Structure formats: structure tokens, C-alpha cells
């Protein structure tokens, strides 16, 4: 650890000037809508040997938190600031009338914050980005304008995997749109070839970028923002076929198997009980044979997408080894939110899907299909937690997070300490030799970062990341939580919550199934006061009715559509 500790004390400018810049490379890999228990290292049955190997040789963080949805997490990731401070108080697509035009609800990465890639680039790092951006559609809001030397970015929230089909209808509501991509500052179209698949393409493009900078002697920061496994669920045939029979056992069997495996792996307490899923959704036994076949196919497609992502991560790691950079690379893997279990028809018109796509059973997951996998499998992906993407419950905000470096002090460990996406920007800055507490660097103003650098903990200098009574909060979609240590105050609208504030002790009840607000009025009042301070500090618009204005819910119609 001595080499890593000392090099972070050196001036970045001096390191670049003397040609002996041995600072670590940084590779940040972000999955899109991956559930907590989907990969093997976190209890899943999907084959993910490359991520499992990184987890086994690195550090598994089992209490790492993100936002309940994609663009707010990405804003916090890039800025180290709360999503309201960073411009994503709500997703651009879902801003409500009370929020429209208000500070913090711009719907793009605000110019009030300084993306950390800008600072890394000023400190002598080569900065590369591929994949999903979702932080602004125009050139001045693109990755090229926010610190990335080279980038190939999908600008919107989602798109097809085999071609450039967009995630929304044309203005008349009838036709398909084309997703928008930029390479650096220029609009581009994806290649058209029979074997094209975006997960493969993004990996190859990042390898190309890393290779292009090998002659300058600079360390590099690589941000690989995969779109997998975001809807529309699409995967190569060979991987769909591999999993075609694996999920015929149904939700409850797969979920229980994951739950028991997680206990064996020490990921959850040995005395934890498996709570039932949300009562609004049918159990496997209630589905018709046709529905079961359709549902099993959807999960097979999802599993294929996750395995494809893992294979590509393995390809990237192999490349780093081949060029001699792997041992000096810090690799961080996480998901941007919990599993996407919402009915996609609350986001895109069902008539548009029916008119433009072929969702027959044999074509599910293939080119020309457009599907999600619904709340039944979403509950499985969120095992052992409550709910999923869109909710401030543990199932919506816990990310399966892995940190790897050859010299980490805690290699091969499983870590239960509270940490969050806000901690990554200060960590990367410290690794680059930039003081995370600085307010100016290389003529760039730096806003105050809200997270804490993980570096001292990762390198063995400290025993904790945050104090045991760390306060942490978040609001999105008119739903919110406030946490202090193991205590969590949460507001979720009906029918998924009570429509009132609830109090949980996560040490005793990680599933959030026993509301203790009446039993612990003092703790309830303490956290309510913290929530009020958070709301005022971040300009949060919250009156208990915002959630009802956002059509980001789970519809019973999902099950009605399965056999149509």
C-alpha cells in the first residue's frame, strides 16, 4: 500500500511534468437497472464469472446506496452532489407541474456543479466515456462538454440493443424514433451489421480509446456506462437459449434459492426471514401455463443480457492485463438503481408497442421485440429487499457494488458499512492527487462535495468510511427516505406504502416490514427533523401528492398483456 499512498501525495502537475506519472488508472463500470441479487457474487444464478472473480479478489460492498432511478444517480455520480443540487431533482421525462422550472429540476447535469472528469482531465488523466449519458441532449450538455476527452454516448435513457431504435414513439405517436448518439461533439449513427449488439460495441470502443492514449504516458479514467439490462430486454439468441428452461420454476423458487445462497455467502444475516413479495402481484401458481412460459422467456432474456455484460467486462479486464495496466487500475462496478420491475407501458404507450414490435413468444428478446420483465421477476432481482426501481426502499437503492485493486487492504472481504454513490467522486479525486475538499483546481471552481472519499478506508488507513450515526437522505418521484445509522424513515405512496412516514430499524429488519414509528416516537421525531433540514437545504418540492402525479407505477395490465 505504500506506493499508492505516497503517489497520492505528489502534485499531479509535477507527476505529469517529469514523465513519471504512476497514479492508478480508474475504470468505472455502471450497469443499468441491475438488481441487487442478479450477479453470482451477490447470490444470483446468472453466470457472471468475471464479476465474481473481481469480487472475490476485491471488496464487495453490500450496503452501498444509489438513487432509485438512473439519471439522478448519474448526476450524483458525476458531481458528488445531491441530485437536486445537480439538476436532477426529477428525471427530465417525468418532471411534474409543481416542479417545472424550479431550481434543481432542470433535467440535466447542472452547470452549478463541476463534473469530476473535468478535474481529472485537468490533473493529467486521459478521460474516456462510452454508453448511456442521460444527463443532457445538446452538445453543450454532452460528455465532451463535461470533461471527457473522448466519448461515444447514447444521450437518452434507453434504446434498442441490436440497432438504433429509440425508446419513444414519434410525435404523432405512431412510428419509431431513432436514439441519439454522439461521438465526442458530433451526432453519429450506430454501425449496421448483422452481429451488432450495443454491449459488445461499447466495450470495443472503450478498448479503442484506451489504446489511442497509450503513447502519452498519462493514467486514464474510463467510464463504461452499459445500457444492459435496461429495457427493451434484448439478448443474443445463444444466451437466450442457454437460459430458456432455467426460470420455469417461477418467481418464488428462484427467489428462495437466491435468498438461501445469500445466507450461505454471508451477504445477509443467517436468521433473516424471507418476506413475501408485494400482495398486489400474482404468485407463480396463479399464472396460466401460457403466462408462465412467457414470463420464463422474459427472465431468460434478462439473464442473457447480464451474462453478455459480464463477458464484456471480462474482455475489458483481459485487455488491461494484456497491456500491463490491470495491476495499476482501480475498478469500480455498481448499478444505477434497483431492478426495473415497473410496467414499461406506464412509460411508453402500449398501442405503440403493439403496432411497431413483434412480441410473440418466439421473438421475445430478439430484434424487433420490445419488453420488460415486470414486478414478479423484479422482486426476484431485489432479493432480499423490499420493492425495486422508483422506490426509496432498500430494493430500489441498494447496489451490488465491487471495488478492485491489486493492493487494496481489504481484498477478498465482504463489507457491510454504509456508503453511497456520493462517495465516488471524492474517492477518484483523491486517487488523482486532488484534495476533495478544495474549492478550486486548475482555474476550475469546485462545489462542495457531499460524500466522503473511500480511499483512506480502502487503503487501510481508517476503519470506517462514515461515522456510525451517519445521516443520509434522498427524495425522488415524491417518495423519500432519511437515514441515521441503522434507523430509516421512509415515505412511499399507496398501494406500495402507507402514504405516510414509516420508521424501520434496518439492523433488525432489512426488509422494512415492521413499522416502528409508534413504538419509537423519539427516533421518529429526530429523523423527521433531519428530513426537514434536508428538504430545506436541497430545495426539495415535497407535499405528499407529487407521487400521484407521476405515472411511474406498476400496472396489473402487465399480466393481462402476457398472452396477447
Q: Which residues have a catalytic role annotated? A: 70, 134
Note the Cα 150 to chain centre separation in Å. 22
Q: What are phi and psi of 320, to 5 degrees?
A: -60, -35
Name the DSSP letter for residue 448. P
Examine residue 329 and say whether the peptide bond preceding it is cis (omega within 30 degrees of 0): no
**C-alpha separations of 368 from 363, 435, 509 in Å:** 8, 49, 43
Considering only CA atoms, give the Rg of the chain.
Answer: 22
Examine residue 232 and say whether the peptide bond preceding it is cis (omega within 30 degrees of 0): yes
What DSSP string runs through 203-259? HHHHHHHHHHTTTS---EEEEEE--TTPSSP---HHHHHHTTTTTTT-HHHHHHHHH
- C-alpha cell belonging to residue 70: 438512473
Examine residue 384 and say whether the peptide bond preceding it is cis (omega within 30 degrees of 0): yes
Q: 3-state secondary structure string, 124-157?
A: CCEEEEEEECCCCCCHHHCHHHCCCCEEEEECCC
What DSSP string runs through 35-77? -TT-SGGGT--S--HHHHHHHHHSEEEEEEE--SSHHHHHHHH
Residue 549 three-state SS:
helix
- C-alpha cell belonging to residue 105: 429540476
- In the chain, helix, strand, coil percent, each to 5? 35, 15, 50
**Other C-beta atoms within 10 Å of 177: how many?**
15
Element (H, E) at 532: helix 521-538
Name the DSSP letter for residue 159. B
Q: Are 501 and 507 in contact (CB under 8 A)?
A: no
Helix and strand element counts for the chain (H, E): 17, 19
The Cβ-side half-sphere exposure at 340, using a 13 Å CA radius, reads 29
Alpha carbon distance 89, 474 (integer Å): 10
Q: Are 272 and 510 in contact (CB under 8 A)?
A: yes
- C-alpha cell belonging to residue 273: 426471514
Closest by CA to 260, choosing from 271, 248, 249, is: 271
By DSSP bridging, strand 479-484 and strand 25-31 are unpaired
Amino acid at each position: 500500500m505504500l506506493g499508492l499512498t505516497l503517489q497520492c501525495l505528489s502534485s499531479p502537475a509535477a507527476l505529469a511534468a517529469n514523465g513519471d506519472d504512476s497514479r492508478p488508472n480508474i475504470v468505472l463500470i455502471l450497469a443499468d437497472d441491475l438488481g441487487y441479487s442478479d450477479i453470482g457474487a451477490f447470490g444470483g444464478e446468472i453466470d457472471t464469472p468475471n464479476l465474481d472473480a473481481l469480487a472475490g479478489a476485491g471488496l464487495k460492498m453490500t450496503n452501498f446506496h444509489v438513487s432509485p432511478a438512473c439519471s439522478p444517480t448519474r448526476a450524483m455520480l458525476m458531481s458528488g452532489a445531491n441530485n437536486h443540487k445537480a439538476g436532477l431533482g426529477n428525471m427530465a421525462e417525468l418532471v411534474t407541474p409543481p416542479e417545472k422550472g424550479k431550481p434543481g429540476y432542470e433535467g440535466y447535469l447542472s452547470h452549478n456543479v463541476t463534473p469530476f472528469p473535468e478535474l481529472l482531465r485537468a490533473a493529467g488523466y486521459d478521460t474516456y466515456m462510452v454508453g448511456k449519458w442521460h444527463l443532457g441532449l445538446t452538445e453543450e450538455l454532452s460528455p465532451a462538454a463535461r470533461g471527457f476527452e473522448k466519448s461515444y454516448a447514447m444521450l437518452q435513457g434507453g434504446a434498442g440493443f441490436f440497432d438504433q431504435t429509440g425508446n419513444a414513439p414519434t410525435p404523432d405517436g405512431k412510428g419509431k424514433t431513432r436514439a441519439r448518439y454522439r461521438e465526442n461533439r458530433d451526432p453519429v449513427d450506430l454501425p449496421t451489421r448483422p452481429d451488432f449488439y450495443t454491449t459488445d460495441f461499447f466495450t470495443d470502443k472503450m478498448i479503442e480509446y484506451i489504446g489511442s492514449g497509450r503513447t502519452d504516458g498519462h493514467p486514464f479514467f474510463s467510464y463504461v456506462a452499459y445500457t444492459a439490462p435496461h429495457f427493451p430486454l434484448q439478448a443474443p439468441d445463444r444466451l437466450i437459449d442457454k437460459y430458456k428452461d432455467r426460470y420455469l420454476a417461477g418467481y418464488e423458487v428462484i427467489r428462495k434459492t437466491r435468498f438461501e445462497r445469500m445466507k450461505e455467502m454471508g451477504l445477509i444475516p443467517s436468521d433473516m426471514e424471507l418476506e413475501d413479495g408485494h400482495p398486489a402481484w400474482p404468485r407463480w401458481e396463479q399464472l396460466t401455463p401460457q403466462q408462465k412460459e412467457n414470463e420464463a422467456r422474459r427472465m431468460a432474456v434478462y439473464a442473457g443480457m447480464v451474462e453478455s455484460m459480464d463477458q464484456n467486462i471480462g474482455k475489458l479486464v483481459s485487455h488491461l492485463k494484456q497491456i500491463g495496466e490491470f495491476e495499476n487500475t482501480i475498478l469500480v462496478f455498481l448499478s444505477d438503481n434497483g431492478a426495473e420491475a415497473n410496467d414499461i407501458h406506464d412509460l411508453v404507450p402500449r398501442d405503440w408497442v403493439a403496432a411497431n414490435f413483434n412480441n410473440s413468444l418466439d421473438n421475445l428478446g430478439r430484434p424487433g421485440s420490445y419488453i420488460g420483465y415486470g414486478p414478479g421477476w423484479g422482486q426476484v432481482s431485489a432479493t432480499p429487499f423490499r420493492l425495486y426501481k422508483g422506490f426509496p426502499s432498500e430494493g430500489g437503492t441498494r447496489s451490488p457494488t465491487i471495488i478492485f485493486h491489486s493492493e487494496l487492504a481489504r481484498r477478498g472481504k465482504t463489507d457491510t458499512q454504509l456508503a453511497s454513490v456520493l462517495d465516488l467522486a471524492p474517492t477518484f479525486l483523491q486517487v488523482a492527487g486532488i484534495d476533495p475538499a478544495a474549492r478550486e483546481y486548475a482555474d476550475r471552481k469546485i462545489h462542495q462535495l457531499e460524500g466522503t472519499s473511500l480511499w483512506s478506508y480502502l487503503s487501510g488507513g481508517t476503519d470506517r468510511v462514515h461515522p456510525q450515526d451517519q445521516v443520509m437522505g434522498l427524495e425522488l418521484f415524491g417518495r423519500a427516505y432519511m437515514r441515521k445509522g441503522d434507523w430509516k424513515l421512509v415515505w412511499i405512496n399507496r398501494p406500495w406504502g402507507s402514504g405516510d412516514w414509516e420508521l424501520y430499524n434496518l439492523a433488525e429488519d432489512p426488509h422494512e416490514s415492521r413499522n416502528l414509528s409508534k413504538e419509537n416516537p423519539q427516533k421518529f421525531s429526530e429523523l423527521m427533523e433531519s428530513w426537514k433540514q434536508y428538504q430545506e437545504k436541497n430545495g426539495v418540492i415535497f407535499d405528499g401528492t407529487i407521487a400521484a402525479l407521476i405515472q411511474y407505477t406498476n400496472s396489473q395490465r402487465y399480466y393481462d398483456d402476457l398472452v396477447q
